[in-house]
């Protein structure tokens, strides 16, 4: 196949191959609305020509058709460029919207996580609130129980204070009575001690008196014995009774009485019986 440039009037359209290199693309400013709106080519199809059994080649017709094909190619090329620009724009818009959608999805996920955290915090706060309410209820019950116990203890303390006052009064009375009894007991003890001391003194005095009486009795017995002995001796020796009385122990005042009466008597030697007298 011989290569031809774009300036030749014949193209590869006869061979059924369309090349964009053979298309004269006008400037974008020279495109008419008719060219852009045209979508039909008035030419017989190849398979129809083959079906009819003849192929009538007319160069002028095929040049027109080729020009029309080029116009269609240009139109479709600009349409493709417009579509490509639109697609690029849509892709950019889609990418931007995708980025925005991803950003929104991230925000939604963050919001969901935040909502989940807030929901967990809310549930935790609800549990804490329920626990606090239960604790408050238990505290109120304990407070009511403590108040009841306090009232009961207050009543018991009041009763104990009343009983204590009564007991204290009774104890004071008993203490006063005890002091009186103790004072009386001390007085009785003192009286008993005094009586005991007096009894002991009296016993001692009685004992002394008894000893004195015994001594006097012994002295009297000795005097009686001496008197009897002297009397018997006097009778035996016929001594005067006055001398016997003079030789005996006299009481106070008797000596003068005896002396007055015996002054005229001769002073002789004491009788022998005076030596046998028991000591006083």
What average pLDDT does the chain have? 71
CA distances from 49 to 80, 172, 248, 249, 250 (A): 31, 152, 222, 219, 220
Question: What is the structure's pLDDT at 217?
Answer: 81
Which pLDDT value is given to residue 215? Answer: 81
With 0-12 / 13-18 / 19 or more C-beta atoms within 10 angstroms meaning exposed / middle / buried, residue 12 is middle
User: In b/e form, how buried is each residue of 163-189, taking b as 16+ CB within 10 angstroms?
Assistant: eeeeeeeeeeeeeeeeeeeeeeeeeee
Longest dimension (CA), the chain: 244
Summarize pLDDT for 71-125 with one digit per residue, the tens. Answer: 888 888 888 888 888 888 888 888 888 888 888 888 888 888 888 999 999 999 9
97: DSSP letter:
H
**Which tens digit of pLDDT belongs to each residue from 117-142?**
999 999 999 999 999 999 999 999 99
- Helix, strand or coil for residue 263? coil
Can you give the pLDDT at residue 252?
Answer: 53
Non-local CB neighbours of 38 within 8 Å, separated by 6+ positions: 71, 72, 75
pTM of the model: 0.30
């Amino acid at each position: 196949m011989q290569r031809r440039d774009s300036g030749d009037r014949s193209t590869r359209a006869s061979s059924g191959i369309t090349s964009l290199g053979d298309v004269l693309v006008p400037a974008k400013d020279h495109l008419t609305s008719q060219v852009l709106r045209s979508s039909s080519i008035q030419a017989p199809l190849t398979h129809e020509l083959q079906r009819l059994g003849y192929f009538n080649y007319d160069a002028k017709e095929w040049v027109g058709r080729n020009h029309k094909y080029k116009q269609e190619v240009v139109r479709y090329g600009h349409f493709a460029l417009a579509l490509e620009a639109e697609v690029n724009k849509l892709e950019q818009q889609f990418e931007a919207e995708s980025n925005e959608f991803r950003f929104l999805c991230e925000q939604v996920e963050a919001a969901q996580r935040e909502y989940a955290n807030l929901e967990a915090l809310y549930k935790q706060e609800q549990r804490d609130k329920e626990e606090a309410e239960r604790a408050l209820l238990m505290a109120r019950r304990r407070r009511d129980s403590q108040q009841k116990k306090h009232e009961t203890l207050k009543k018991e303390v009041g009763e104990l204070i009343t009983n204590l006052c009564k007991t204290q009064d009774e104890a004071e009375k008993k203490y006063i009575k005890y002091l009186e009894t103790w004072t009386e007991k001390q007085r009785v003890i003192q009286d008993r001690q005094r009586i005991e001391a007096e009894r002991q003194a009296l016993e001692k005095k009685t004992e002394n008196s008894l000893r004195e009486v015994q001594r006097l009795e012994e002295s009297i017995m000795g005097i009686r014995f001496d008197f009897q002995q002297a009397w018997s001796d006097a009778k035996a020796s016929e001594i005067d009774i006055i001398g016997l009385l003079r030789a005996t122990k006299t009481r106070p005042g008797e000596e003068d009485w005896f002396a007055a009466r015996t002054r005229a008597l001769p002073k002789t030697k004491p009788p022998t019986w005076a030596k046998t007298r028991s000591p006083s």
